[in-house]
Amino acid sequence: MKEKIPLLNILKNKMNKKLSCTIGLEKNIISKTIFNREIKLCKMLSEEKKGCGWGKCKNCGVLPLLVKLHKGKLVEDKKEIEELKNKLLNY
């Protein structure tokens, strides 16, 4: 039998609540290995090309999404996003 995706299980358990960005906020939806690999890729593409196929680093939402999926923390404040990018990409 196929293994169910953990995020789907979380959402099914919370179906009676209105869907929002905070439903299902849990740590380790993605592993630390995947998180670190994706951050490394972002850093490399940022240094080489100032962006990737998804857009320019200045307007990118990948880093906040990775933090949400790995650390279970929602990052939405513009200043906090800028600090996150500076920290993870070493600007």
Per-residue pLDDT reduced to its tens digit, 10-64: 666 655 566 667 666 788 889 999 999 999 999 999 888 888 888 788 888 999 9
Q: How many domains does the chain have?
A: 1
Going by C-alpha positions, the residue among 12, 27, 73 that lies closest to residue 83 is 73
Task: Report the pLDDT value the prediction gives residue 2, as an integer from 0 to 100.
Answer: 52
- d(CA 65, CA 27) in angstroms, rounded, equals 12
- d(CA 56, CA 4) in angstroms, rounded, equals 34
Q: Is this prediction's pTM over 0.85?
A: no
Task: Report the pLDDT value the prediction gives residue 89, as an integer from 0 to 100.
Answer: 85
Q: Does a structural domain hold residue 11?
A: no
Q: Does a structural domain hold residue 85?
A: yes
- d(CA 3, CA 76) in angstroms, rounded, equals 32
Q: Write the single-letter amino acid at 40.
A: K
- d(CA 67, CA 65) in angstroms, rounded, equals 5
Q: Does a structural domain hold residue 32?
A: yes
Domain boundaries, position 62? 26-89
Q: Does a structural domain hold residue 57?
A: yes
